[in-house]
Amino acid sequence: YCVEFKTETLSHHCALENRPYARWMQYLREGHTVCVACQPPAMNTDTHRCSGDGHNADGSKILHWEAVGNSQCQGTWKKIRQLEHCSCPLVHSFIFT
């Protein structure tokens, strides 16, 4: 499954990232919608959920995220909806880890 989030805040450290494999962090923007897929091995084998997916959160709850590989690139987002069938665009598409 996938979860759509609206980014609320992000640290300035994301824009400063210039390592080739992590340049995607430069393109994160406040107010943009991002799509995050829950796939193995991040998926819990008992619950079939990914940690941090906002399962019990409504659209007003502020949730925190952190980029893998740069713990200073972090921020908050709000859950928009969960999609059982992922159709995440290639841009602004991520996975839970």
23-42 pLDDT, tens digit per residue, is 889 889 999 999 999 999 99
- CB atoms inside a 10 Å sphere around CB 47: 9
Q: What is the DSSP letter of 53?
A: S
User: Taking the complete model, does pTM exceed 0.85, yes or no?
Assistant: yes
Q: In the chain, what is the straight-line distance between the N-terminal and C-terminal CA atoms, in Å?
A: 14
For residue 91, is pLDDT > 90? no
What is the distance, to the nearest Å, from the Cα of residue 74 to the centroid of all Cα atoms in its chain?
Answer: 10
Name the residue among 90, 91, 57 with its Cα closest to residue 76: 57
Rounded to whole angstroms, the maximal C-alpha distance in the chain is: 38
